[in-house]
Chain A
Amino acid sequence: MKNKKQILETAIHGIFLVLGLITVGSVLLITIYLVIAGIPAIREIGLFKFLFNDTWKSTAQPPSFGILPFILTSIYGTAGAIILGVPIGFLTSVYLAKLAPPKMRSVVSSAVSLLAGIPSVVYGLVGMLILVPGIRKLFHIPDGSSLLAAIIVLAIMILPSIINVSITALEAVPKEYEDASLALGATPIETYFRVSFPAAKSGIAAAVVLGVGRAIGEAMAVMMVSGNAPNMPSLFQSVRFLTTAVASEMSYASGLQREALFSIALVLFLFIMLINAALNFFLKRSKEG
């Protein structure tokens, strides 16, 4: 009887182990595949030329494969989204965590969750139909598809992750800190910014990094609003991101062009690894602090 139970236990252990390994296996598979698929084109083109040449003409004769415009666009676009999105997201989370009456809080929170659930193609579509023509009219430029449009869409898309993680961080601040501050005569707002915020700093940093990760990896929405011409980034110009560079040409690419797209994916992957490392670092610190 006991023996039977033991066997069952072991079997279930085994099943769970296998299930756990599926995730690890997928990560390994993707990493290995990306490296194998991404290296040949970099070898052929030359790492320096690939990363720092500013011209991408993949089907020209002779072709030119420089992804500097994509790298810079991805960095600028993400930075822009963070600059716009973080203040809005952070202040919203302060309001929700500390100030909002319960009813208001539940309404706003459900709106935020809804925002997180909207598929990116819908963001793109709305951006394409409303934002792009709006930018064109507002700034009197010939075409509204631009880095600015992408930044605005990305800023809205990263709001839910920033808000949710920041709320958690703010709520984790021990109530005694705030009570002490209030007892010393500080106003509530002073308390939130001088006491709660510093105490929740690493959690909020994690929120920002999460937002960066979401923004840099987004393809569909930015593809629909950014115009996709491989220009060096400029606010009102049509630009192409690392993600969209892979996605837009993949369907008909062949030969070295296709291999180069895999190399772009590899570069993007390295960026995301870096961001993940940063995220882990901040999360760890927030736990310890």
Chain B
Amino acid sequence: MKRKIIALTLAAAAALTALTGCSEKATGTVATDGSTSMEEVIGVLGEAFMDDNEGITFTYNPTGSGSGIQAVQEGRCDIGLSSRSLKDEEKESGLTETVLAYDGIAIIVHPDNQVKDLDVETISKIYKGEITNWSEVGGKDSEIVLIGREAGSGTRDGFESITETEDQCKYRQELTSTGDVITTVSQNSDAIGYASLASVNDSVKALSVGGVSPSESTIKDGTYVIQRPFVLVTKNDTKLSEAAQKFFDFATSDDAVELISKAGVVAAK
């Protein structure tokens, strides 16, 4: 009886190994720290990773990109998470960035809106309240209704930092989910809003920005500008722990692509 159990266990272990392609079972913890905007994507990845690797605990500390980078530098976490590229001096100080995904933010309007294209500067002026009427940008004569997200939202943070409108947006509505933004814009012919590209559907129209319409390919090649990278930050001179390395490999593998797109961003792979 006992022998049978052992044999079974071995067989199961062999099967698992064959599935995951790893030679030994790692234990330990993977600590990540950083960008609050990456909460969703890192949550999805972490969950799937823990399901596949029993015995490894995955933690995520949402502190913000800056603190995440600092935390990995000081060795307080295994992998730092940043929703912006590393600055040159950060790279010089011995950090490496690996782009995990790109967060593309679509600018959406009602399908009946005649406006098809805006450049970043105009979008920024619209959101700052310097342009208030659609006729000023080639639309019909009606007031522009600004729809945004609540303070603290990753999408809002991303949109405002790319368009350089931090704390200056004159929102008419601050909604708490991407779905709410899309529904509201689809119902108001004068509304403009922003939402992560993955969730945009036919009920609204995504504007092209500076002549480039948003799509996975234009986000990946960088021509669509309202986007930012989601970056995994690691230290050059310190080797990752076995568990952390395993997570890193998993997150950058082909298997993770689908999970990453499920979280509403474009995988870098």
Contacts and interface: CB of A to CB of B under 8 A. Distances in A.
Interface of A: 57-61, 128-129, 132-133, 136, 142-145, 223-224, 227-230, 238, 240, 247-249, 251-254, 257
Contacts of A257: 151-152
Contacts of A224: 180
A145 B173 contact: yes
Interface residues of B, number: 30
A223 B36 contact: no
B174 A248 contact: yes
Most buried by B among A59, A223, A254: A59
A128 B183 contact: yes
B176 A228 contact: yes
Given A142-B143, A227-B174, A248-B176, A57 B167 contact: yes
Nearest to A227: B173
Interface in B167-196: 167, 171-176, 180, 183-184, 187-188, 190-191
Contact of A249 (B63, B150, B180, B183): B150
Contacts of B188: 133, 136, 142-144
B135 to A, nearest CB: 13
Contacts of B183: 128
Given A229-B173, A252-B36, A254-B62, A143 B191 contact: yes
Given A132-B187, A143-B190, A252-B39, A59 B151 contact: yes
Contacts of A230: 174
Contacts, number: 79
B27 interface: no
Say what secondary structure dominates the interface of chain A: loop
A288 B3 CA distance: 81
Interface string B50-67: 000000000000111000
Contacts of A227: 172-174
B150 A248 contact: yes
A142 B174 contact: no
Interface of B: 36, 39, 62-64, 142-145, 150-154, 157, 166-167, 171-176, 180, 183-184, 187-188, 190-191
6 contacts: A129-B187, A136-B188, A142-B142, A228-B175, A247-B176, A249-B151
Contacts of B173: 143, 145, 227-229, 238
The 6 closest A-B pairs by CB, nearest first: A252-B152, A60-B167, A142-B143, A227-B173, A59-B151, A228-B174
B152 A59 contact: yes
A143 B63 CA distance: 35
Contacts of B39: 252
B208 to A, nearest CB: 24
B66 to A, nearest CB: 12
A252 B153 contact: yes
Contacts of A57: 151, 167
Given A133-B187, A133-B188, 6 more contacts: A57-B167, A227-B174, A228-B174, A229-B171, A230-B174, A252-B36
Contacts of B145: 142-143
B152 A58 contact: yes
Given A136-B188, A142-B143, A251-B152, A229 B36 contact: no
B61 to A, nearest CB: 10
Nearest to A60: B167
A126 to B, nearest CB: 13
B174 A251 contact: no
Given A128-B183, A129-B187, A145-B184, A253 B152 contact: yes
